[in-house]
Amino acid sequence: MIPKFYTLRHSRYWDVDWVLKLLLLACILLTSTSIIYAQDYFYYYKGEKQRLELNTGYVYVVTSTSISDSLELKTMINRNIQISKFGTDNSAQTLKSVSKTANSGITNWAELRLSEKLSSEEYLLYLEQLERDESIKNASPYFKNENKDKLGLSDYFYVKLKHERDFSRLEKMAAELGSEIVGQNKFMPLWYTMKTVPDAKLNALEQANRFYESGLFEHAEPDFMEDDLVHVPNDPFYVDQWGLTNTGHYGGIAGMDIRALGAWDITKGSRDVVVAVLDHGFEMNHPDLQGNTFGTGFDTESGTSPALLLGSHGTACAGIIAATGDNNTGVTGVAPNARLMSVSNSLVGTPNSRQRRADGINWAWQNGADVISNSWGSGVQYAIIDNAITNALTNGRGGLGTIIVFSAGNGNGNVGYPANSNPDIIAVGAMSPCGERKSPLSCDGEGWGSDFGAQLDVVAPGVLISTTDRQGATGYNTGTAIHPLNGGTILAADYGDQNYTVWFNGTSSACPMVAGVAALILSVNPCLTHDEVEDIIEQTARKVGGYAYANTMGRPNGTWHNEMGYGLVDAEAAVELAQQLLPAGSEFDLYSKDRPFDTGAEPNPDGGPMWISEDIWVRQNLDGGLAHENPEYKMFSPNGVYVRVRNNSSVTSECANLSLYFSKASTGLVWPNHWTNYTLSGVLNGDKVNTVSVPPIPPGGTTIIEIPWYPPNPGDFVNDIHHFCLLARIESPADPMFNEQNGVGVSINVKNNNNIVWKNVQVYNNDSDSYFTSLYIRGVQRGWSKINLRFYDRGFNDRIEKPFFDRGGEIYVKVEPEFFERIKKAELQDIKIIDENMLFIASPKATIYGIEINDQETFSMHFAFRVDVGDREEVLLDVLQQNTEKRTLEGGERFVITKSSKAPFSDERLSVNKSNLVYPNPAKDEIYIKYSVDSDNSLVEVSVYDALDPNNEVQLYTGEHNRGEYFEWYNIQNLKKGVYVLKLKIGDEVKTERIVVSK
C-alpha cells in the first residue's frame, strides 16, 4: 500500500476516487465495529484456530504475463516501493490435472516491500486499489504469528476430501466461492490444490476457512510463503551486500544481484578450492579472513614468502571473494568456504614492476591457486605478463588450467590490458544496482564508468560494495564518510570499528565477485577445465538491463552485448550447470595402499599403523625415483612427492583430483587442524601443497602422480628441520569419501577411507644427520586424555631379518622439561631415566603408559639411535602413540635407519653431565644447554661468537627466568663450520664454553 499522503503524489493510484474512499472509510469507522478492518485473522489446523496478525510491510501480487520483470512492475506501481522478489509460478506442472477448465498456464508473482508501516485500514484499502489495475490479477496480505514475523498469503490453498466420492462437493463449492481446482496431489490423492480466481470476493485464507467450516472436508489450509528454506547469513552487514541479495539498495532494482542465496543452497564453496588475490596483499589476521587464509602467501617485491600488506585494495577484494560467512562478524564472501591466497604487489609504477606481477601469477598457480583474481590493469602491454597468464591457463590445476579473472577497467572506454589480452581470461565489467552498465549516468549517482567493448565477457555488481577493510584507521574507512546518494554521514562505528567499508567501487569489486563464483563452480565440479568454467559463467549469465543482446560472431555462449557482455553473472545457474556436467555413468573406486597388503577395503580391516604407506614417497629432485628420501630445502628446484593411485573398479575413472598436504612430524595429527594453515609459534607447520588432476585410469590400472614441493625453510624451525608428514587425498564426485570426519585423529580417516594415504617415515642416517632427530607428541582426543608411547622394532608384516633391538640397538631420548615431568608420573616399562630430561631405551618391550596430555598441547622428543647397520641395509623402528584406555593407535612415526657411524657414540655426547654447559659437542644443527637460576626475575642471555672474532656475537636468546633448573635447545644451523664460544649470562654471572661446529 502507498503508505502516507505525500508518497501518493506520483502514483497512478492517486486520484479523486482514492480520496473519496478514505473519507468514506473514516465515516464508516465511526459508525461500525464489525467491518473487515477489525476482523479476527486465523486459519484452521487440525480443527483448531491458529491466530494471525497482519504484517503491513509486504504485499503478494500475481501479475499478468505482460509484466516480464521487476523493473516493469516497479515502474507501474510506484518508485518508493521495492520489489523484493519476482518469480514465475508453474505449480500446475507439479500436480495431476483433474479439470479441463482449470487455468494451468504460467503466471508471474512478486513480493512488494512497502517503504513505510501502514495501519491495517490503509493496508487493506491499498490491496483493493492494486487489484483495480488490469495487470494485477491478485493482491494478498502478509501476516505474522508467534513463530514467524513474515507469512505471505499466496493465492493457493489446500483441501483434503473425506472420501473419494466427495470430489463433486469440491467442484461445487469452488464454483460458489470463486476458486479453481489446480490439480490433485500425485502421492496423496485425497489432497487437492486450489487457487483463487481473479476478481474473487474472498482471498485464499478466507476460502480455506469456508471450506473447512462447511464440515464437508477433512482439512482446508491456506498456503503461506515462508523464507525458511533459504538461510540468510548472520553476518551483521550482509543486509548491505546488494551484490549478493539486492532488495532495492541505493534506489536499485530488487533481484539485480548474482543470486548468491540460491547458489548457497547447493554449495558455499570448498576448502579444497584456493583463490589467489594478486593485489596489495590482504590482512591475513583480519577477523573475517583469517579462517580462510591459505598458507603464508608470496611477496612479489622481495620474491619471498610471506606476503606483505602494501595497501588497502587487496583486503577489500579478498573479502568479496571469501570473507567467512555465518560467523556473526562483518560481511560474507561469494564463496565463504573457499580459501584465499595472498600474493602481494605494490601495484605502482616502479622499476621491474611488470616482471614482478608476472612472478605473482606464476607463483600462485605453481603453489595451488585454482583461481587468480586480478583487480588491476596496465597502460602498456607486456609479453612477460602474457606468458605468465598462458602458463597459468595451460599448466595450472594439474593441466586443467587455472581460472584467470581480470577487471575490465574504470575508464568508461574499451576493456583495458591485461583483461583484453587473451580470450581465455574472464574480463569483468561493473554493473549498477539497477542492472545497467555502471556509467556516469547510471542510477547509483557516481560519476565514473566501467570499461566495455569487444573483449567484455560478463558484468557483476561493482559500486557501493560492502566488504572487509584494513583494521583501524589505515584502510578506506577512516572514521566517517558522506553517503554517495543522500549526502548523509556514515559512521565507522556502524561498520565494525573501521574493519569494514561500504563504498568499495569499480571493476576492482566486480572482478572478485566473478572469482568467487568460479570458486563455487569448482567446489561442485573440480574437474572442469578453465575453458569449461568460463563457458559456464558466460552461458548462464542473465540478460538484464533491457539491452538488445544478440548473437555475435566469436561469441558462442549465447547472446551478447557490447556494454554487458553475456550479462550479469548468475551464481545459482552456474553452480547448477556445473553439477549437470559431472561425468555420467557408473561410479569408480580409486585408492592408494596404506600397506603393501592393503586391498582397498573400506574401512581397512587392519588394526596396525596407517602412516607407513609405500604408495606415497619423497624424492629430493623430480627424478621419478621409487625410494623414499627425506625432503630437502632448496630455493630454486622442487622436491618431488609421488603418489601411486590405483583403480579398484571395473570402469575407467574420469574425474578425479589429488590433493597433497604436509604437516610437521607428530604422533598426534588432527584433521584438518594440523594440515591446513597450521601455525605453531608463528611458524607454518602444516598446509595444503597443491591439487592436481588424476588422469583417467583403466579398470585394474595404476598411475603415479608427481607433485612438485618446496618444503618450508629449515631456518624457520628450531626442531628437526626436514621431517614432515604427508597426506594425499583422492577427491572425486564419482568416488566420495567414506565416513570422513573433522576434528579427529587423521588415522581414523585413513583407516576408513581408501581415498586417503599417509606417510610419516623418516630416513635416519648418522653420517649426514645430526645426532638427534625430533618428533612432536600431541593429544588427538578433545580435552584431556592419557596416551601410551611404545618403541617397537618388529614391524607390521614387514620382512625383518634382525630387528633393531636384536642388533644391540639403543635409543637416547631427550625430552623437554614439562613433558619429562609428565613422563615421571607415568608408568615406565623397560625405560631408564639416566639424567634430567634424558631416557635410555634398549628393549623391544619399552613402553610409557598413561601420559596425561591435552589436544591443545605440543611437546617435542629428540631421538638418537645407536645400532649396527651394514651397507645397503635398513633397520626399522616404530614410535607408536596409543590411547591408554582404548588401546587404539592414534598415530606414530617410522624411522628407517640406513647407516650408522662406524665408531659407536660416546656416552659423553648423549648424556647430560651437570658439569657441561652444552651438548652435543661437536654439534651440527642444534645445541642443548642446562643451567640453574638462583633467584626470580633473573635476566638470562644466551649468545655465541666466533673464537677468532669475539666482536661478532650472535644473540640466541634474551629474557627473564624464575628460579629453578632449565633445559633448552637452540638452532645453530646458520653458523659456519668452526670453533665458537657459547656465553651464558645469568644476572651478573657469566659462563662460557667452547663449541666445535662441524658441517
| SS3 letters across 282-335 | CCCCCCCCHHHECCCCEECCCCECCCCCCCCHHHHHHHHHHCCCCCCCCCCCCC
12 has pLDDT over 70: no
Q: What is the pLDDT of residue 448?
A: 94
Q: By 3-state DSSP, what share of the chain in percent is helix, strand and coil, each rounded to 5?
A: 20, 35, 45
712 contacts 665 by C-beta, under 8 angstroms? no
Written as nine digits, the cell of 230 is 533459504
> Above 80 in pLDDT, residue 131?
yes
Residue 710 amino acid letter:
Y
Residue 535 has pLDDT above 50, yes or no: yes
pLDDT in tens, 727-755: 999 988 778 888 788 788 898 999 999 99
C-alpha cell recorded at residue 649: 573398479
pLDDT in tens, 841-895: 999 999 999 999 998 888 888 888 888 887 778 888 899 999 999 888 888 888 8
Q: What is the pLDDT of residue 185?
A: 86
The larger pLDDT score, comparing residue 459 to residue 34, is at 459
The catalytic residue among 508, 653, 666, 900 is 508
Contacts of 411 (CB under 8 A, 6+ apart): 449, 451
Q: Would you state the pLDDT for residue 967? A: 66
pLDDT, residue 903, reads 36
Q: What's the CATH architecture for 261-580?
A: 3-Layer(aba) Sandwich (3.40)
pLDDT-based confidence at 489, cuts 50/70/90? Answer: very low
User: Looking at 249, 280, 313, 862, which residue is catalytic?
Assistant: 313
The pLDDT assigned to 333 comes to: 97
| Domain positions in the chain | 5-225, 261-580, 590-756, 765-907, 913-997
pLDDT category at 388 given cuts 50, 70, 90 is: very high
Interval 411-462: pLDDT, tens: 999 999 999 999 999 999 999 999 999 999 999 988 999 999 999 999 999 9
Predicted local distance difference test score (pLDDT) of residue 970:
78
pLDDT of residue 493: 42
- Contact, 560 vs 550, CB < 8 A? yes
Joined together, the cell numbers standing for residue 519 give: 570458486
Q: Which CATH class is domain 590-756?
A: mainly beta
Say if CB 288 and CB 324 are below 8 A apart: yes
pLDDT at 774 over 70: yes
**Per-residue pLDDT reduced to its tens digit, 329-372:** 899 999 999 999 999 998 776 677 788 899 999 999 988 899 99
Active site residue 279: yes
pLDDT at residue 117, rounded to an integer: 66
Which has more confidence, 739 or 524? 524
- The confidence score (pLDDT) of residue 734 equals 78
Give the burial string for 879-900 (b: 16+ CB within 10 Å, else e).
Answer: bbbbbeeeeebbbbbbbbbbbb
> What per-residue confidence (pLDDT) applies to 597?
83
pLDDT for the residue 580: 81
Query: Comparing 74-78, 162-166, 277-281, which segment has the lowest mean pLDDT?
Result: 74-78
- Of residues 223, 279, 370, 444, which has the active-site annotation? 279
Closest C-alpha among 660, 359, 339 to residue 515? 339
Q: Is the confidence at residue 406, as pLDDT, over 90?
A: yes
* pLDDT beyond 70 at 603: yes
- For the chain, give the mean pLDDT: 83
CATH topology classification for 913-997: Immunoglobulin-like (2.60.40)
pLDDT on residue 906: 39
pLDDT digits (tens, 9 = 90+) for 900-952: 443 333 333 333 333 346 767 667 777 778 778 888 888 888 888 876 677 77
Same fold? 765-907, 913-997 = yes
**Inter-helix orientation angle 204-213/167-177, to 10°:** 140
**SS3 category, 172:** helix
For residues 267 and 436, the model is more confident at 436
Q: Is the pLDDT of residue 105 over 70?
A: no
Residue bearing the bigger pLDDT, 211 or 71: 211
User: Alpha-carbon distance 677 to 640, whole Å?
Assistant: 21
**pLDDT reported for residue 355:** 87
Question: What class, spelled out in words, does domain 765-907 have in CATH?
Answer: mainly beta
